[in-house]
Amino acid sequence: MSDIIQLLPDHVANQIAAGEVVQRPASVVKELLENAIDAGATTIKLIIKDAGKTLIQVIDDGKGMSTTDARLSFERHATSKIRTADDLFQLHTKGFRGEALASIAAIAHVELKTKQEQDDVGNTIVIEGSNVVSQEVVVTPKGTSIAVKNLFFNIPARRNFLKSNTVELRHIIDEFHRVALAHPNLSFAMYNNGSETFNLPISNYRQRIVNIFGTKTNEKLVPVDEDTEVLKISGFVGKPEYAKKTRGEQYFFVNDRFIKSAYLNHAIASAFDGLLKNGTHPSYFLNLKVDPQTIDINIHPTKTEIKFDDEHTLYALLRSAVKHSLGQFNIAPVLDFERDSNLDTPYSYNNTQTSTPTIEVDRSFNPFQEEKQRGKQTTAFKPTPNNWDSLYVGLESKGTKTQQDFSEVHFESEESTGSLFSEDKQIDNIQTTYQLHNKYIVSTIKSGMLVIDQHRAHQRILYEDFLKNMTIKEAVSQQLLFPLQLHFSVQDIEIINQLKEDLEHTGFIFSSVNKESVEIIGVPVSVPESEVSIILEQLISDVEHEVPDTHFSATDLLAKSMAKSLAIKTGQSLQKDEQEHLVNRLFACKEPNVSPTNRTTFVTMSVDELDKKFI
């Protein structure tokens, strides 16, 4: 039998490795930004076109590379960060696996320009799908510029799996935020399709957060600072009243590296226990400094997951540090056993001798004597009117009239106290719907019983209403007495601008849209003013994560998001007429069987099925 195992060619191996390292354009952005930081850059520029599908370019002013290093950097397992296996537990840099550039070059057109400070000229290398096209001498400033063009050009299947430009750009911005927040001591700039999106100068940590998420963020932050032998914690948490329904503004950095940790996130959530509304999540921007020997970074290709030696201690320290900060800044109620100065003796009475208060008693006072006198007066008083006989004048004539009119008397209660089992009344008062656990509406049908999920049913009703309004563009709007001003981050404002026209067709009226805020003067009739900010936040979140998917239009996505936000919630009690109205509106819909997210809205149970339950 012939041998069947063979070594893979380098270009195939590189493409397989690229599947782990490069999942989308944001993965390339992360690797290139981290390389620029490791190169000692102080100013880093990120240039994006078509959400990274056409161009991703990172320009830095770092130390650059020599001719040999520039060529070797595109080989697999080539790195300047480690020499031995022991170095994996003493990592102070970002990229160390030595596969980033090799993986990127295997699935894109890459152009590298680099120059060291002591050299007169630099080098440029052009690679297409792991093949070196050219390597030449070039005049270029100090540092490195690497441009990645036509991502996944040789893997069309992977390119087809990419989401829309809006979603991919959001992932790129997320990666940009993670790197920029971890390094406020560096200057970052980002340009998208020729326009400047971010320009972040060197600053302290608080200023960096404000520069990214908007000036309104400053008043939401509570500082956290704790220094122990095991862990050093610094950063900020958001005030409970500003908690969001999404987990967007949650950042953990361990030794200046962004990580995801459900365990540590639970520590933050437990510190906020009792301070948050249901369904909301706190914001936090926390830096954790630990000994590199106590963590293992190399357990995931994207290096966003870390294994800690002693997670329980970190959990306890993190929870107590956040809880202490919330109490220290009067965000959370705390028990304070310190002396209250308000209870101290005033200075003017410090040396004054205390005296026993005297009580004066009237020993001759007899309360019973006064009561007896009042009692005698009461019994002695008998009113006797002089014209008492006038009280009975005309009594006989009134009685005669009453007897004559008895046959014509109509009692008011006679009509309402008819037969208790009257057929007509029984039909009028019969209840056709019942609410079960404030979640389901039970109704009778000819064949048996109908059980409706009130939340999903109302979603379907609102979804079709919004879709109709946006299609025919005849939505009714109600004017607000006072304009409503809402603050958002830069990228959220961009999404609102994209959806502004569709939002106006549903009934929203925008008076102005600025760089960090929007002003609304009109809302749809069915939308209460207090729900506007929640609706827009949910809508932005859905667009960012593309719910449902690229195959649906923005109008459809907007209608689904608004219906989800405004639908009757589970647990809400409904009156009898509200239940019947919901049932009637549901079955007037085009597709009453499913909610906008394709979930069942009602189930039926026939009499035969019920009978079988009692066999």
pLDDT tens string 108-159: 999 999 999 888 899 999 999 888 899 999 999 999 999 999 998 888 888 8
Asked if residue 568 lies in contact with residue 461, where contact means CB atoms within 8 angstroms, the answer is: no
For residue 381, pLDDT beyond 60: no
For residue 24, pLDDT beyond 70: yes
189/433: higher pLDDT: 189
Nearest residue to 463 via CA among 517, 401, 516, 506: 506
Q: β-strand 187-192 against 195-200: which pairing, if any?
A: antiparallel
Give the pLDDT band of residue 22 (cuts 50, 70, 90): confident
For residue 551, pLDDT beyond 50: no
**485-512 pLDDT, tens digit each:** 888 888 788 888 888 887 888 788 898 8
pLDDT value for 55: 94
Report domain 10-200's class: alpha beta
- For the chain, which residues make up each domain, given as ranges? 10-200, 205-328, 440-604
Q: Which fold has domain 205-328?
A: Ribosomal Protein S5; domain 2 (3.30.230)
Largest separation between any pair of C-alpha atoms in the chain: 139
Give the pLDDT band of residue 82 (cuts 50, 70, 90): low
Angle between helix axes 165-182 and 532-544 (nearest 10 degrees) is 100
Could you name the CATH architecture of 440-604?
A: 2-Layer Sandwich (3.30)
Q: How far lies 124's CA from each of 34, 65, 127, 141, 599, in Å?
A: 20, 11, 10, 12, 55
- At 442, list the tokens: 């039970």
Return the C-alpha torsion angle 541, 543, 548, 554, nearest 10: 140
